[in-house]
Amino acid sequence: MTDLHPPLLDHCPETLPAAAYHDPAWFAREEKAIWRQNWVNVGRLDDLPRGTMRRVEVAGQNLILCRDGAGRVTAFHNTCRHRGAELCSAAEKPLGRLITCPYHNWAYDTSGRLVSTAFATPTAEFVKSDHGLFPVHVRDWNGFLFLCLADTPPDFRPDLGSDALDNWPMAELRTGHRLVRELDCNWKIFWENYNECLHCPGIHPELCDMVPVYRQGVMAANEAPGWTADAPAAPVLKEGARTWTMTGAPCGPEFPGLTQTERDRGFTFVTLYPTMFVVAHVDYVRAVTVTPLGPERTRLTAEWLFSGETLAQPGFDAAEVARFATLVLDQDGAACEMNQRGLKSERFTGGRLMPQEFDILRFHDWVRDRMGVA
């Protein structure tokens, strides 16, 4: 149902300063104030086999993600409490009952408790319980694993609520296709592009055909010029389309638990700053994870998730299903890189948002609040 209160801004506020997109010092502050203080997606639980230890990096911190034989998931800083050696140097390795340092063989159980100092002989004042691994908070949401480096993690708050995907069988879905793109742009540039559709008519002809309202440069009907509350609601997807595929036809059976509103909407976006967004369709789910690699470098990891029934169809081609959204993602990536190159002009110190860019303002305010800047 369309919101009866148009969200358009009544003024044209300033953007973040240009330095926020390329200054190394600003980026270093963001790592500490944003990426080390919020929940960060590190992959699907189903893609981490039992009895596995995986090396991951979050906000410049070297971590290990562990799933023991019983299926319990824990995470720690990848550093031994003896003299700081790296516990896991491989991308992934088998995990038994213990996490053993390869340098001097100190050993920890999978809860992080120090159980052995191997050949070392501690003196009486050394208390083993004071020298466990440094823990990292872990959360499983809809089959996605999240880590948080903060001592006290913030509430877990997707923009539509943590229950927004309850009608999709999220924990049962399996990864059928994965795409990784590295972009020459700041991570915030990607989120800004995500949060407006003024660029859609010029950048996304195929998407505008699939979602006709995007042709007007808006994300919903109530943002369009001349819209009134008594305007009849139009279908979200083009006539005959049910989902985001090249033909608009579902790639397999539709999920049975969806409401009619969810089916009519065609897609449900759920956003969790700063790390990811999820797009749930009637037949599959797509998740895109954002990872900053530097002030002007960002990795996007897109995953397409399907039911076992869909994956088991004879001749099923997950890459073909992914082709439509891949096209859109690559168009967005090129636009983000173009934006990054232009804002480095010494004459450009900042821009102005248009009324339709209300969600960018909300994102900027979210960044400003966490960075402690006005």
CATH number 1.10.10.10 is the correct assignment for the domain at 39-153: no
Start and end residues for every CATH 2.102.10.10 domain found in the chain = 39-153
Query: Residue 360's pLDDT is what?
Result: 98
Q: What pLDDT does 4 receive?
A: 53
Write the pLDDT tens digit of every residue in 185-238.
999 999 999 999 999 999 999 999 999 999 999 999 899 888 888 888 888 999
Please list the residue range(s) of the chain that carry CATH number 3.90.380.10. 18-37+166-371
Which pLDDT score, from 0 to 100, does residue 2 have? Answer: 47
Query: Percent of the chain scored above 70 by pLDDT?
Result: 99
Average pLDDT, the chain: 96
Q: Residue 263 belongs to what H/E stretch?
A: helix 260-265
**Most distant CA atoms of the chain, gap in Å:** 80
Q: Which CATH number fits domain 18-37+166-371: 3.20.20.140, 3.40.1190.10, 3.90.380.10, 3.40.50.300?
A: 3.90.380.10
Percent of the chain with pLDDT over 90: 94
Instruction: Locate the DSSP E strands across the chain.
Output: 40-44, 52-58, 61-67, 73-77, 92-94, 98-100, 107-109, 114-116, 137-141, 144-148, 174-183, 268-272, 276-280, 285-294, 297-306
Residues 308-339 have pLDDT tens digits of 999 999 999 999 999 999 999 999 999 999 99
Report pTM.
0.95
